[in-house]
Amino acid sequence: MVRRRFMPAAAAQALCELWAEHEVINATPSLLFQAFALQQRYQTSLWDALIVQAALDGGCTTLYSEDLQHGMRFGALEVVNPFAAPAVHEQPAIWQGKPA
């Protein structure tokens, strides 16, 4: 985000601090094996499959990604490209450098 100048460094740090307050999904053998299955089924990279599986394990319904196809679904999980569809999902105030 900072390298591509989508947000200032202070806003990126504040966003990471917000993320740190949430549950972390640990990489387990089960997550890895399920990710391998996703990789084969959807022909994605293993890295993307690991992210998708972690989101599924965490009970997420939205996955923000610029790499996966916007609107792609993995069960209840929907992929949203925040750069391709700004009208669909408004950017949080912190992305715009404003206090939350």
SS (H, E, C) the chain: CCCCCCCCHHHHHHHHHHHCCCCCCCCCHHHHHHHHHHHHHHCCCHHHHHHHHHHHHCCCCEEECCCCCCCCEECCEEEECCCCCCCCCCCCHHHHCCCC
pTM strictly above 0.85 = no
pLDDT tens digits, 48-82: 999 999 999 999 999 999 899 999 999 999 999 88
